[in-house]
Amino acid sequence: MKLITSSLYLAVLATLVSCGGSSDSVPVETKTTIAVMGDVPYGTAPTDDSQVKANPAFIEAINKDTDLSLVIHGGDIHSGKEYCLDSYNKTVSSQWAALKLPLVYVPGDNEWADCHKVKQGGGSYNAGTQIIDYVANGSYEKGDPLKNLQLVRSTFFTSPGKTLGSGSVQVHSQANEFDPAYPGDASYIENVWWLQSRVIFVTLNVPGGSNNDSDIWYGTPTMSTAQTQEIANRTAANIRWLNNAFGLAKSIGAVGVVILVQGDMWDMDSNSSIVNGQNHIYGYKPFIDQIAANTKSFGKPVLLMNGDSHVYRVDNPLKKGSPCVIEPSSNAAAVACNNSAASSYMTSVQFGKTDAYDNQPWGYDVPNFKRIVWHGQTLGLEYVKLTIDPAANATASDTAFGPFSWTRVKP
């Protein structure tokens, strides 16, 4: 087990090119199209299984889209109002097995980081008794986030680097390709990279909603050592994995990079409070710093795709005053971003701006960056149809950027 080096990568690249998109690789040089989705299936309560029941038909619609070569699910396979259960994970896993294409899965906060919350069947600290009151018949292992992350891994990541779906292919997992100076990085089996259409794709376990998992588990007075270590270890491993992906992209002359995470690192999630001088998204700053620095150094188009805030959006939060579009209501066409078109959580109170995402508080200036937030939650099942054309160099717009172009598909 080792960190992949440039020389090793070139050998891997040669192997991939020779495979030419066969069953044991993803297409490398050719124009390809993938489906990106997340924050589905969702329920409004632990007993709401309407989207789970609709999920097989949604999967079948994806199977019928003959343009596609790959599917990505960006996390949150249930809502923050549903319990974290082994049986539920297995239900989704069995449904995904019907996909005829390879499926890359990025875990979300609702699968593990937020399982401690009462609404998800965890528990709450009782100041009177100074113990945690757990939800009766609640989540797996009383909602313990670390144990639920292990549960996710044991269900969806049984073989390092093997994608899901019946059309499974091999990608590169941090479980196999880690820096030997940091052996603990091997536990992040869910972090993967692959080459497709001369673009490096990289996934990172960055949970949304909880300020990079810094909302104190069970609401106890102080953060546990286990949680402190979880944040520090995962953040550092993610950054090493991200930096490595950009290093690979430079070394082989990739035409672009796609970063996939679950968390919306600019969304306050209706939480505008300041704690210890920090706002509720400050925990994401280490990732944004590295994304910004790597993107600027790379100098070619970089596309970030995330979910978590559930409303379709295209923007560049790393360049002040950049244009953006947003879905003003469920299933509506995207319109130019402004306060009246934004959802209720994007209000001027958050940053004193007309748009909470624009002019974000850390002041970057990165023009070769674009972000897509996929549509999710109970708003309806859809996916982003992303085409990668290594010969293209489109001017940045609401539907294209460099080698990338995209559209929303609502089966």
In the predicted structure, residue 176 carries a pLDDT above the cut 80: yes
| pLDDT number for residue 142 | 98
| pLDDT number for residue 305 | 98
Band (pLDDT 50/70/90 cuts) for residue 326 is confident
Full strand arrangement of the beta sheet holding 404-409: 103-105, 68-73, 32-37, 383-388, 404-409, 400-401
Name the more confident of 17 and 174: 174
| pLDDT number for residue 322 | 84
Q: What is the DSSP string of 303-326?
A: EEEE-SS-S-EEE-TTBTT---EE
| Cβ neighbours of residue 221 closer than 8 Å, sequence gap 6 or more | 125
Name the more confident of 377 and 72: 72
In the predicted structure, residue 131 carries a pLDDT above the cut 90: yes
Cα 41 to Cα 51, 247, 363: the distances in Å are 5, 35, 35
In the predicted structure, residue 380 carries a pLDDT above the cut 60: yes
In the predicted structure, residue 274 carries a pLDDT above the cut 90: no
| pLDDT number for residue 385 | 98
Residue with tokens 């997340």: 38
| Cβ neighbours of residue 136 closer than 8 Å, sequence gap 6 or more | none
**Residue 183 contacts residue 2 (beta carbons within 8 Å):** no
| pLDDT number for residue 166 | 87
In the predicted structure, residue 242 carries a pLDDT above the cut 60: yes
Q: Is 97 helix (H, G, I), strand (E, B) or coil?
A: coil
Band (pLDDT 50/70/90 cuts) for residue 338 is low
Angle at 409 between CA 32 and CA 53, to 5 degrees: 115
Least confident of 49-53, 85-89, 280-284, 376-380: 376-380
Architecture of domain 6-409: 4-Layer Sandwich (3.60)
Q: Kindly state the tokens that stand for 223.
A: 């953060």
Q: Mean of the pLDDT values across residues 320-331?
A: 79
Least confident of 35-39, 311-315, 317-321, 394-398: 317-321
Q: Mean of the pLDDT values across residues 382-396?
A: 96
Band (pLDDT 50/70/90 cuts) for residue 323 is confident
Domain ranges of the chain: 6-409
| pLDDT number for residue 272 | 65
In the predicted structure, residue 20 carries a pLDDT above the cut 50: no
Full strand arrangement of the beta sheet holding 172-173: 172-173, 192-196, 199-203, 256-260, 302-306, 369-373, 313-315, 325-326, 335-336
| pLDDT number for residue 41 | 95
Name the more confident of 310 and 407: 407
Burial of 223 (0-12, 13-18, 19+ CB in 10 A): middle
What does the mean pLDDT of the chain come to?
A: 87
User: Of 330, 326, 341, 314, which Cα lies nearest the Cα of 406?
Assistant: 314
Name the more confident of 359 and 300: 300
**Residue 77 contacts residue 89 (beta carbons within 8 Å):** yes
Band (pLDDT 50/70/90 cuts) for residue 224 is very high
| pLDDT number for residue 350 | 34
Centre a 10 Å sphere on the Cβ of residue 141 and count the other Cβ atoms it contains: 16
Instruction: State the Cα–Cα distance between residues 356 and 281, nearest whole angstrom.
Output: 12
| pLDDT number for residue 327 | 83
| pLDDT number for residue 270 | 65
Q: Mean of the pLDDT values across residues 249-256?
A: 97
Name the more confident of 323 and 292: 292
Band (pLDDT 50/70/90 cuts) for residue 27 is low
Q: Is 291 helix (H, G, I), strand (E, B) or coil?
A: helix
- Check: pTM over 0.95? Answer yes or no: no
Least confident of 76-80, 266-270, 310-314, 400-404: 266-270
| pLDDT number for residue 168 | 84
Percent of the chain whose pLDDT exceeds 90: 72
Q: What is the DSSP string of 48-83?
A: --HHHHHHHHHHHHHHT-TTEEEEEE-S-SS-TTS-
